[in-house]
């Protein structure tokens, strides 16, 4: 994007949702997603983001064993209840689901986007798959994804993507005002990652950051919840805590974004174009 100074004209209300998944029960998980869309709409949300692989649960062996049953596609009729909820409430959704590349047959961990009319709008495939996901048979996506809602440019990420600063930076340099991530962060070390990575990505790029995280058992993990939204200065804006089901809902504001970018010009400073210089070293 040519103009990194371009800002939206009006606020946008977004929500990060969490709820228990029914492992490998697509119908039940789609129904849970539709319920969260309606709950988010009741709180004024224009867009809801759901956790990684929410529409099946984080059930890698089961998905790999029967991909015909457990992967979803844009035209999948099983998404109809979710599409209806979006259309009836005029609320868009980003929902985590397993997919299959139609050209290669490779399994992907994806985020499927339905617009406020309920129609399929975009799909993002996770670029940074974990070693265990690769071992299970999932491949990496080959491109980022930016969606636009009412003048807000929103970059999509999935779980481990957020651990690579360049992933969020690529979204910011594409003109994104917010970085939206669906994830599976479990109890223990996942709680530390959640509390550390997301405010850092916000401050790194002066963007809003949203995390939608699992809040119950799924596959080998028990999600730690804490779906949340951070301001572009890294401060916490909204947190769902351990609510089940739960939402973190907040208004993203152009004036807050403008102030953060004026105070920390990390996206426009001349150092962005500085060459990579040789390093010097010394024994001390």
pLDDT at position 47: 98
- In this structure, is residue 6 part of a structural domain? no
In a domain, residue 243? The reply is yes
Instruction: Classify residue 119: in a domain, yes or no.
Output: yes
What are the average pLDDT values for consecutive 10-residue runs of the chain, which has 284 residues? 76 98 97 98 98 98 98 97 98 98 95 98 98 98 97 98 97 97 96 96 97 96 97 98 96 98 90 79 92
pTM of structure: 0.96
What CATH number is given to the structural domain containing 233?
A: 3.60.110.10
Q: Given this model, what pLDDT does residue 4 score?
A: 65
Contact between residue 110 and residue 126 where contact means Cβ atoms under 8 Å apart = yes
pLDDT value for 1? 43
Task: Specify if 282 maps to a domain.
Answer: no
pLDDT confidence of residue 203: 97
CA 230, CA 24: separation in Å to the nearest integer? 31
189 in any annotated domain = yes
pLDDT in the model for residue 278? 86
Q: What distance in Å separates the CA atoms of residue 34 and residue 80, rounded to the nearest whole number?
A: 10
Looking at the domain assignment, is residue 259 inside a domain? yes
Q: Is residue 274 part of a domain?
A: no
Q: How many CA atoms lie within 13 A of 218 on its CB side?
A: 32
Specify the residue for token string 């993002």. Answer: 124
Structural domain boundaries enclosing 108: 12-267
- Among candidate residues 134, 149, 259, 269, the one with its CA nearest the CA of residue 210: 149
The pLDDT value given to residue 3: 62
For residue 76, being part of any structural domain is answered with yes
Q: Look at the chain and report how many structural domains it folds into.
A: 1
CA 26 to CA 95: how far, in whole Å?
A: 12
Q: How far is CA 179 from CA 32, 60, 146, 170, in A?
A: 24, 25, 9, 10
27 and 78 Cβ atoms separated by less than 8 Å: yes
DSSP 36-88: HHHHHHHTT-SEEE--TTTTT-S-HHHHHH-HHHH---TT-GGGHHHHHHHHH
Which tokens sit at 226?
Answer: 């804490």
């Amino acid at each position: 994007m040519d103009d990194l100074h371009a800002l939206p004209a009006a606020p946008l209300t977004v929500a990060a949702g969490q709820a228990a998944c029914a492992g490998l029960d697509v119908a039940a998980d789609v129904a849970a997603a539709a319920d969260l869309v309606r709950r988010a709409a009741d709180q004024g949300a224009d867009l809801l983001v759901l956790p990684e692989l929410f529409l099946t649960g984080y059930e890698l062996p089961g998905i790999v064993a029967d991909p015909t049953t457990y992967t979803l596609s844009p035209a999948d009729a099983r998404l109809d209840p979710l599409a209806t909820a979006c259309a009836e409430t005029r609320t868009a959704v980003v929902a985590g689901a397993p997919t299959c590349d139609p050209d290669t047959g490779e399994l992907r961990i994806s985020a499927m986007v339905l617009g406020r009319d309920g129609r399929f709008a975009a799909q993002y495939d996770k670029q940074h798959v974990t070693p265990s996901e690769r071992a299970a048979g999932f491949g990496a996506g080959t491109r980022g994804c930016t969606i636009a809602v009412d003048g807000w440019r929103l970059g999509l990420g999935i779980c481990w993507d957020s651990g690579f600063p360049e992933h969020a930076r690529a979204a910011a340099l594409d003109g994104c005002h917010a970085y939206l991530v669906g994830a599976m962060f479990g109890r223990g070390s996942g709680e530390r990652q959640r509390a550390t990575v997301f405010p850092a990505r916000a401050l790194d790029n002066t963007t809003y950051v949203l995390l939608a995280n699992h809040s119950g058992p799924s596959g080998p993990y028990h999600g730690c919840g804490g779906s949340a939204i951070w301001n572009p200065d890294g401060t916490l804006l909204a947190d769902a805590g351990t609510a089940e089901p739960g939402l973190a809902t907040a208004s993203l504001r152009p004036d807050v974004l403008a102030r953060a970018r004026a105070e920390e010009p990390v996206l426009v400073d001349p150092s962005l174009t500085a060459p990579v210089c040789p390093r010097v070293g010394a024994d001390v």
